[in-house]
Structure 1
């Protein structure tokens, strides 16, 4: 057999394709990580190359001839010197035995076991992921699976195993069919890591919800009854000054990240530059050269725990990027930072630039600004994802605080200068003020004479005094979200003002849109792909603006820190936001120029419709009314959200100056159904918007999860609209408008008879937006 010396000595038998492991560390804990080193290549399925799986503390236990791989339960523990107290908690909560095997032979306290079945199992749950994403029912075929020796290695502190796994079954989803040569046979590679746990010299740092770090939680049943048993600590790398007393010192061991060697230029340089921004934050925390980014050494394995790696990952469609880590579940110490950057992200930003600039005029050099914008976005993306692997969470208030953090989601800042679109300074080019605060909180090394708790609180209080704040994911989502300043892909301190500005940018871009938006010798039908990010350019600022309606300003306030706790949004700000949202529904904003519509033909053979273009109701031909329906539904589905409707009722009841749900519904109906309808193309768009408004209002009235009063008010407004329609339909002279009114009357009458049976019509939605330039989850 081939012998591999290292952390766990093991042998490979080439005759039987088996791995035999020497266990000499019984009851000694180590870290077990499973991952996927060769993936499927579909963002929608989510099985990416070099994707990390779970990190578990495990240990081998012997029970006679059986060897068990046991995972202790570190969520519940007793941090105590009393062994019996520790044992009482250990026995109270379940542990997990991940695998069991039988010894082959033993010698001098060492046991030889066959771990082949364990290493060739579906530890990453590939079959479960395929099932959950509705791609088919697959099982592992061990006859088509084998160990992959180029990535099976041993090191002093970690043992690495890799296997080629083949899953067979019946495909049922299009995603898996689009990325596999034979969809009934899916072959990937799975990696297993046995990692020596770090020593006990790491000092966990207390979690503060205001500081911007991810938390690690456990329950300590040895805690005095006067204190909470729930303990929270941040996740972070170990970093210590050589001289803690010095204001600036080199680190005992710097944090070094390595970039995937498969990254091409000029992307390589952009990613290196962006990731290196973090060194400025560490310098502000008192470190010298404590954070570095280098190319991965030739021959190094990116799954090796010794390397923090920025991976360049290819997929068949654009998608998410991730910043994850291998973390010690006992303490929160990050052992390995691991970034996955989707390679198609840069092409999406380039596409946005193509749509905005219409750059392909014959005989004119293509502007460098498009590539510069895309690379600027990649720098920010590299900094953002590395930030996650340093322990930092999303910071969504930062776009309204002078671009204070790269941990926000940035929308390109596009301006109109002398009637032309400008992409200069579309993205920030540096670390933000909040990022420096967060790194100080997580990594500053305090001198012995400094009380750490007081020092950490002083960092946060100093940030608050500068007008900096931290708000994260749950506060930023538009569906039911209430915070006026925490948004995804927004810009500016005033959401509604920025929405109106973005609409003007969009107007200029659409007026300029034409054949110069595609390269020479491309099919005219390709204009559709370039059109989508321009036509829906306002969608994220719309999401930000809608959160002002029934919004609530608040902070992660602690008693005594002087922060705002909660405050309703001023009525005039909400009404201004509502006016801006109504603008997005007007035909003049939703109509496309006639010269553009005349040069978008049906798709030619070989250019199938994908999900990156608008959905059609017109068969093969481009559907401008369908595009308008999709855009209107963005605004109205968010405005008529059940949580927002309930807050409108509550806030108005508490303060009569606050806009009510009745006020909002009346505003929408007055601006749609009850407004004058223009002739021709814009008139048809207005009728489309009317129907989107009615569908969303009826859906809210029938929403079983909405409160009784929300449904009652919506029902009242539907009955009032019905009465208005009955009157106006009698005097309407044009057939189109009369048909429109009578159709609405029929819908409301059917709803009135069977509201419980109502099903919202299948309105058209925009093509996928996320990620427009960044979208990631940890």
Structure 2
């Protein structure tokens, strides 16, 4: 109820032509109301009145909403093809900012307020926070008139939404530079619509920029976007926040509190969550399941295909069991969209409604964004976005990753029940994001590798301890394993995280008072891998990798490759032989290379890997521990056999010669080189060198270099000829070594192949370049000896070429 504005607005919106031609004058020389809001105005009532008069749009701001905090959220509603290289989608949020309207003489100022720096208003330092964090003016509007009752200020917002205002623009500085944007074209920029709802204002804006190199339709020389701007009234009193603990995964908001007594500003981080309060607190505290005062409700988009609706609803309501762990029943509900007769005012744009939007787009993706109060982390609204073609990706991976052990996956016409189950779990994953949960990449590391071949285990536990991991299918199960569950599902971690974040604790008057209890819940699960959270950003941790399953990547990838070989052998029979068309074969072969690459990457992550064990000082053990030496050596041997020794089964002429006229060897070289570059990256080698600081017997960088050279150039010792794939890979190695010898790494995320993260050492003064130079000298000597006894001309030329390249690297002058 706190969200309802003080004006006596009806809950129904009213769109009408104004008939009241009132002409009373106002003070300060302003125009009469009737001269601005004319009889022809189209008026919409809600949070405040909005008016359209010919081509102009007006806001009528009541005095009671001046200085009330609102959340201004800008999203891309419609997008040109390939904007951002495919990483920006319709529905992408471009900015989220707290604003408030402020009167200054005859103007209304729209100010941006930040909660990055705070202090209690009763403390003297709050005055310093205010003057050192002065709120910028986003835009200044002239007051055009005053409402007849004297309590409303009329401003023209047309220019604001048709000018190039960076804070609400769909193109950031990086995209403008990338596409060489010149300017916003005012003649092709206009307001599509303005709608007023009880708690929010929605503005749709068409914007067109002149661009020299647009992402698509280059001859047009423009980039056109449709933007949607939501202005949402925030509660007068913020929800009591819950302090974030890194051992449990949640999206967060952060503030710097200058009222702290810690002799410095205090960083406060709160989790993002919905505000669930039980209807009957006493029953809740007795341990009974109680419905929340305001449940989380998701409506389905009216454009959602009928046959998919039951699965989407199931995916949403799968979270009900997890909320029961937190003491709530019916906490999250899925509903069909109401008909016009049932609710003529229903709109997906109304902030009171969260919607699963079904988007007719070729994009293969689904996202679960949400809008939250930056003061407390309270999630106000969220829309799950499902793109139509996303199921194609799941069908393909289902065939490739489970087809060997799962006969029902060996088809392009996957059954509706199986497709529906996949969609159900994707929706459940995206709903998890909308509930505040990030990816938990350690959840798939909770189960033993052999458990994935056990029918009772997989049927009960699925394939990961959380739906929030990127663990989509059981690729470990082997042909002959029966009654296996191949598709993911919610797990014990999800119940644990919902209880930790959502359990109502009325006995505590502050967020700080809750912390001891919340900490005890974490310590109760200490040592159990099912309740471990692994950050997606821990790219150095092999236990927190995407798309992997089990606690043994070597054995899991061995099982995975065994299955993939069987699938590759049968791929033409399961595709082109059925359709009399090679299109699906080409698509699936390309994705099969990607699956192979993922299995290889899971093993490669062990080399130079560091486990991140998020814990507090009162818990035993270290936070960061290097992967043990035996696992790293075994991983290098596995890579030598399965990644760098030519995987001939991937170059099947029955596939390649039916999907393209050329490029056969380059396809394989590209994916092999990706992992070669990953091993030979600045950050990985730096971690190997780092580990020697504490353990001289650790798998050292010099051992890694030596083992890799032996794997890539075994022909030099056994005097055998190398085939085209080996020669290409060997050249890629020499090229990468030159890169390590000569390039300067960035201190931030590196853009070149190799997946480098932030570099934390000086490359020039470390052992890295010494090791590279020494390896190149040894290789050059071996090449010169081997070329004399090379058995064919091409091999001899190849060795000469590599020796000359290395000589040039070592002596560039």
Is TM more than 0.5 here? yes
- Note closer, same or farther for the CA distance 1:170–1:448 as it changes in structure 2 (3 Å cut): closer
Where does the alignment leave 5 or more consecutive residues of structure 1 unmatched?
A: 603-620, 756-778
Per the alignment, residue 810 of structure 2 pairs with 752
Distance 1:380 1:601 in 2: 33
Local SS of the residue matching 2:525: helix
Mark the CA change 1:227 to 1:172 in structure 2 (over 3 Å): closer, same or farther.
closer
Pick closer, same or farther for the CA change 1:393–1:415 going to 2, 3 Å.
closer
Change (3 A) 1:366 1:348: closer
Q: After TM superposition, give the deviation of residue 336 of structure 1 in Å.
A: 0.7
The aligned residue for residue 305 of structure 2 is 264
Pairing 1:495-506 to 2, within 5 Å after superposition: 495-506=553-564
1:294 CA drift (Å): 1.9
The equivalent residue for 1:285 is: 326
Moved more, 38-47 or 295-304: 38-47
For residues 223-248 of structure 1, the C-alpha deviation after alignment (integer angstroms, 9 at most, x for no partner) is 21357521111111100112332312
Q: Is the 8 A contact 1:33 1:56 kept in 2?
A: yes
Aligned to 2:459: none
Aligned to 2:12: none
**Deviation at residue 555 of structure 1 after TM alignment:** 1.3
The 2-side partners of 1:592 and 1:681 are apart by 21
Local SS of the residue matching 1:685: helix
Contact 2:572 2:655 in 1 (8 A): no
Q: Are residue 409 (structure 1) and residue 470 (structure 2) matched?
A: yes
1:148 is displaced (CA, Å) by 2.5
User: Could you say which residue in structure 2 is the equivalent of 1:685?
Assistant: 725
| Pairing 1:432–2:491 present | yes
The SS at the match of 1:488 is coil
Given that 1:510 and 1:593 are in contact with CA atoms closer than 8 Å, whether structure 2 keeps it comes out as no
- The alpha carbon displacement at 1:40 in A equals 2.8
Q: Tell me, which stretches of 5 or more residues in structure 2 are unaligned?
A: 1-40, 341-345, 448-463, 746-762
- The answer as to 2:533 corresponding to 1:470 is yes
The structure 1 residue matched to 2:61, chosen from 16, 22, 25, is 22
**3-state SS of the aligned residue for 1:162?**
strand
Residue 380 of structure 2 corresponds to 335
Alpha carbons of structure 1 residues 491 and 288: separation in structure 2 relative to 1, 3 Å: same
Of residues 517, 535, 544, the one that matches 1:455 is 517
The match for 1:302 is 348
After TM superposition, the structure 1 = structure 2 runs for residues 135-534 of structure 1, keeping only pairs within 5 Å, are: 135-137=179-181, 139-149=183-193, 152-163=194-205, 165-173=206-214, 175-177=215-217, 183-200=220-237, 202-225=239-262, 229-244=266-281, 245-247=285-287, 248-298=289-339, 300-318=346-364, 320-354=365-399, 366=411, 369=414, 374-402=419-447, 403-414=464-475, 417-418=478-479, 425-428=485-488, 430-448=489-507, 452-467=514-529, 468-475=531-538, 477=539, 481=540, 483-514=541-572, 516-518=574-576, 520=578, 522-524=580-582, 527-534=585-592
Distance 1:432 1:339, change over 3 A: same
Q: Shift of the alpha carbon at 1:458?
A: 2.0
Change (3 A) 1:168 1:234: closer
Distance 1:313 1:666 in 2: 52
Output the CA distance in 1 between the equivalents of 2:614 and 2:428. Answer: 25
Displacement of 1:498: 1.2
TM-superposition CA deviations, 1:292-324 (whole Å, max 9, x none): 122333463222211122222344443x43322
The CA deviation at 1:569 is 1.9
1:378 to partner: Cα distance: 2.4
Taking a change above 3 Å as real, the CA distance of residues 411 and 726 of structure 1, as seen in their structure-2 partners, is farther
Paired residues of 2:368 and 2:385 also in contact (CA < 8 A): yes
Deviation larger for 710-719 or 219-228: 219-228
Q: Is 1:76 aligned to 2:117, yes or no?
A: yes
Q: Greater shift after overlay, 721-730 or 343-352?
A: 343-352
Matched residues in 2 for 1:676 and 1:372: separation? 55
SS in 2 for 1:740: helix
Shift of 1:654: 2.6
Superposition deviation, residue 372 in structure 1 = 5.2
With over 3 angstroms needed to count, the CA separation of the structure-2 counterparts of 1:126 and 1:23, relative to structure 1, is same
Which shows bigger deviation, 246-255 or 556-565? 556-565
Deviation at 1:530, TM superposition (A): 1.6
**Matched residues in 1 for 2:112 and 2:656: separation?**
65
Residue 395 of structure 1: CA displacement?
0.6
> Residue 26 of structure 2 aligns with which residue?
none
Greater RCO between the two (CA within 8 Å, min separation 6)? Answer: 1
1:716 maps to what in 2? 774
Q: Is the 8 A contact 2:720 2:790 kept in 1?
A: no
Question: Aligned equivalents of 2:659 and 2:296: distance in 1?
Answer: 54
CA gap of 1:524–1:466, structure 2 versus 1, over 3 A, is closer
CA distance in 2, matches of 1:654, 1:85: 46
TM-score between both structures, scaled by the size of structure 2: 0.82
Aligned to 1:631: 671
Following the alignment from structure 1 to structure 2, what is the Cα–Cα distance between the partners of residues 328 and 594? 55
Q: Which runs of 4+ in 1 moved over 6 A?
A: 356-359, 676-682
Q: TM-score, normalised by structure 1?
A: 0.85
1:112 deviation in Å? 1.2
Q: In structure 2, how many angstroms separate the alpha carbons of the residues matched to 1:692 and 1:736?
A: 17
1:132, distance to aligned residue in structure 2 (A) = 4.3
C-alpha root-mean-square deviation of aligned residues, in Å? 3.0
Conserved 8 A contact 1:588-1:682: no
Preserved CA contact (<8 Å) 1:405 1:431: yes
* Shift in alpha-carbon separation, 1:713–1:12, aligned structure 2, 3 A: same
Write the mapping of 1:596-675 to structure 2, written as runs, cut at 5 A.
Answer: 596-597=654-655, 599-602=657-660, 621-675=661-715
Indicate whether 1:59 and 2:97 are aligned.
no
Query: Which secondary structure state, in structure 1, belongs to the residue aligned with residue 526 of structure 2?
Result: helix
2: CA distance between counterparts of 1:520 and 1:37?
A: 39
Distance 1:413 1:670 in 2: 34
Counterpart-to-counterpart distance in 2, 1:751 and 1:386? 53
What's the offset of the Cα at 1:51?
A: 3.3
Q: 1:109 & 1:640 partners in 2: Cα distance?
A: 68
Q: CA deviation at 1:328?
A: 1.0
Equivalent-residue separation in structure 2 for 1:628 and 1:293 (angstroms)? 46
SS of the counterpart of 1:585?
Answer: helix
Comparing 707-716 and 290-299, the one that deviates more: 290-299
Size of the aligned set, in residue pairs, is 716
Tell me which moved more, 375-384 or 681-690: 681-690
| Equivalent residue, structure 2, for 1:611 | none
CA 1:598–1:250: 2 relative to 1, 3 Å: closer
